[in-house]
Structure 1
Amino acid sequence: MSTYQIHGLKEKLTLGKFVVTVELEPPKGADPMPVLQKASFLKGYVDGVNIADSPMATLRMSPIALSHIIQQDMGIEAIFHLTCRDRNVIGLQSELLGAAALGVRNILTLTGDHPSKGDHPNARGVFDVDSIGLAKIAKQLNDGFDLTGHPLNSPTQFFIGAAANPGADDLNIELEKLKRKVEAGVHFVQTQPVFDISQVERYLELTKDLPLHIIFGILPLKSGKMARYLDQKVPGIKIAKEMIAIVEQGGRAAGVEVTKQLIEKIKGMVQGIHIYPIGDLTMVSDLLDIPQKMPKVI
């Protein structure tokens, strides 16, 4: 049995180990090598890589297939995203059973972007269920039954994840959503990016009674322009004016430095961080002090 299966993400979080995960985007094509090359730089520095499911409704390689390849070839545990956009409940269950057979057990359950936002705008969205319904399906498979209650020849062992939003306008509504996700079977969440310790503290206080592992999102800022755009245009992201000013003055280097400071501040408080490189893995190498220079485009 491979090391990542013995001491995987679930076990590390259960034991209280601080974990680091990084998001990677699958290729648009049949060759996984470009992503494997990027993943090779992360080995030994991260505890898992997230593989998106045709993000923004744009065609990409299957996240399950790519996750399996990364685990087998690179020895890095993967968290595959699965959306409700492209498959009905039969297809979702089939995909999950296939993932289980391939040894890919970490799932991030997502509703998914509508096809009209992507590169196949005339495709039909399915959305038989939402992310909570998908979590319920994964839990039912873990219990050894399909969605209709028929027994499986072997249960799955998924570590079920979901998305969360510490920057939600109404944190009471956010808490209710989280409670529903936990009831549906979710074991861990990876959050939208946070940019200050007070936001982390508020969210930890809000969720302290939930039986849930929380991995906080980290997005290093490259420029003042990027910071202003995220703060003004992206729902669920709030950046203090002081931080925007620092990055406007110091650029990328300042963005990396304030992000490293934030990580150090919250490291003893949280269970882990999830880094969003946004097309630039060199930011990951700078944040984690990886000596090799990583390729920029992912």
Structure 2
Amino acid sequence: MFGTFIEKLRSGTYITLETTPSRSAAFAPTIDKIEALGLHTLVDGFSTTDNPLAKLKYNALFAAVALQNRFGLPVLATMSMRDRNRIALQSDLLGANEADVRAILALTGDSAHYSDQPHAKGVFEGNSKLLLDIISTFNRGVDLADQKLIVPPRPIYPFAVIDSYAKNSVALEKKMAKKVSHGAIGIISQPVYDLDNARKLLEMMERANAEHNAECTLILGFFPITKLRTARFLD
């Protein structure tokens, strides 16, 4: 499933649908709605978000398992550095691996300052590059302390994110190259609404790959604006 997805990501056309679990103990209603609308027939895979804006939601890894089991399509599960230290991150990855959740989107995470949970504190033992490093070590059959794992995980596919625009394009390109150097095989941009902007991002990715002898793919974010409220939020 993941091999085909990665091959298509690099050489074909593809689209994934982002899902945001709700503040609920049940993710099944969201899956039922996807099936009722036939959305699973229009995409190559899904993604699940991990408590965006530090708001409490259903767990992204469990949501990924449920989506994969229902539709047989790969799911890109988000993991935020905000809520876990390196022990918890590695533990979650090991459990997710046996459940065949193996495409991971590494995020630093929004500040706990925005949380709907009073007095919540962020962990922030590292940023998203630490999670990319953990995945790299797991793919070598060892943990972050360089200790051999009794049963090595199946290949994990690391993804990262990038802003779609910055006043300082040099700084943006350095961030992109940094994530490529830490092993990301795909970098998803924030929504892009301008062709020139898209071309600049693609050129940055081409240079980052050349610098690090990599094959990272730039995945352009698309966020259709259907409501005035959404436009105001983005603005």
Q: Could you tell me the TM-score, scaled by structure 2's length?
A: 0.90
Shift in CA distance, 5/35, structure 1 to aligned 2, threshold 3 Å: same
SS of residue paired to 2:8: helix
Deviation at 1:218, TM superposition (A): 0.9
Distance 1:155 1:74 in 2: 23
CA RMSD, Structure 1 to Structure 2 (Å): 1.7
Deviation at 1:49, TM superposition (A): 1.1
Q: Which residue of 2 aligns with 1:42?
A: 39
Identity of aligned residues (%): 32
Q: Which residue of 1 aligns with 2:127?
A: 130
Distance 2:185 2:58 in 1: 26
State which structure, 1 or 2, has the greater radius of gyration over its C-alpha atoms.
1
Q: Which residue of 1 aligns with 2:138?
A: 141
Counterpart of 2:7 (choices 8, 11, 23) is 11
- Contact 2:68/2:74 (8 A) holds in 1: yes
Deviation at 1:65, TM superposition (A): 0.9
* Runs (5+) with no aligned partner, structure 2: 210-214
- Contact 1:68/1:103 (8 A) holds in 2: yes
Shift in CA distance, 225/57, structure 1 to aligned 2, threshold 3 Å: closer
- Contact 1:175/1:206 (8 A) holds in 2: yes
SS of residue paired to 1:103: coil
Q: Which residue of 1 aligns with 2:220?
A: 216
Q: Which amino acid aligns with 1:36?
A: I
Q: Which amino acid aligns with 2:197?
A: Q
Q: Is the aligned partner of 1:118 residue 2:126? A: no
- Contact 2:86/2:125 (8 A) holds in 1: yes
Q: Which residue of 2 aligns with 1:276?
A: none
Q: Which residue of 1 aligns with 2:96?
A: 99
Distance 1:228 1:130 in 2: 29
Instruction: Name whichever of 167-176 and 184-193 sits farther off.
Output: 167-176
Q: Which residue of 1 aligns with 2:212?
A: none
Q: Which residue of 1 aligns with 2:189?
A: 191
Shift in CA distance, 107/225, structure 1 to aligned 2, threshold 3 Å: closer
Distance 1:102 1:127 in 2: 26
Shift in CA distance, 174/228, structure 1 to aligned 2, threshold 3 Å: same
Q: Which has the higher contact order (CA 8 A, sep 6+)?
A: 1
Distance 2:141 2:62 in 1: 23
Shift in CA distance, 228/31, structure 1 to aligned 2, threshold 3 Å: closer
Q: Could you tell me the TM-score, scaled by structure 1's length?
A: 0.72
- Contact 1:52/1:81 (8 A) holds in 2: yes
Distance 1:100 1:223 in 2: 38
Shift in CA distance, 101/114, structure 1 to aligned 2, threshold 3 Å: same
Deviation at 1:63, TM superposition (A): 0.8
Question: Residues 153-232 of structure 1 correspond to what in structure 2 (within 5 A)?
Answer: 153=150, 154-209=152-207, 210=209, 211-222=215-226, 226-227=230-231, 230-231=234-235
Distance 2:72 2:229 in 1: 37
Deviation at 1:27, TM superposition (A): 2.5
Q: Which amino acid aligns with 1:198?
A: D
Q: Which residue of 2 aligns with 1:73?
A: 70
